[in-house]
């Protein structure tokens, strides 16, 4: 009887760890999907300056130049227009929204998630687990 009770306790603790780890993994995937979406949105942003850069057209690169301000404005605009996208996480933040080369947008997000089930095994993470996701998209 004692051995059975011990096995049940261990099995329940293991179940809490597996369920919580799966939940955190799924939340990270959702954060990564949002980072992808924001990077794509920012890659389509057009700067207020000229549409085509003359020296790029001469070299054959062409394209619409991106600026740091346009990328950040596109990310902030999307989050402002779609407030439900970030409400699932605690302490959600856009850590970085830049353009490294003027043609691609890079977005880095951060959030804090809490384990789905708490037990004494998961007590050290009761304040939450910090997640980060980064995505880069290239404009046309």
Classify 38 as helix, strand or coil. helix
Given a cut of 90, is residue 124 above it in pLDDT?
Answer: no
Burial level of 135, CB count in 10 A (0-12/13-18/19+)?
A: buried
Domain boundaries, the chain: 2-138
Sign of CA dihedral 24, 29, 35, 41: negative
Q: Which of 17, 34, 32, 30 is nearest to 116 (CA)?
A: 17
Mean residue pLDDT of the chain comes to 83
Given a cut of 70, is residue 83 above it in pLDDT?
Answer: yes
Tens-digit pLDDT profile for residues 98-112: 988 888 899 999 999
With 0.75 as the threshold, say if the pTM is over it: yes
């Amino acid at each position: 009887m004692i051995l059975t009770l011990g096995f049940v306790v261990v099995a329940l603790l293991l179940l809490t760890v597996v369920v919580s780890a799966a939940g955190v993994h799924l939340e990270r995937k959702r954060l990564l999907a949002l980072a992808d979406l924001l990077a794509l949105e920012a890659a389509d942003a057009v700067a207020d300056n000229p549409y085509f850069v003359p020296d790029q057209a001469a070299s054959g690169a062409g394209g619409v130049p991106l600026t740091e301000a346009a990328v950040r404005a596109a990310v902030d605009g999307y989050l402002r227009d779609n407030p439900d996208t970030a409400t699932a996480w605690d302490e959600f933040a856009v850590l970085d929204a830049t353009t490294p080369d003027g043609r691609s947008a890079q977005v880095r997000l951060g959030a804090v998630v809490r384990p789905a089930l708490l037990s004494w095994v998961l007590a050290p993470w009761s304040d939450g687990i910090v997640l980060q996701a980064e995505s880069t998209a290239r404009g046309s």
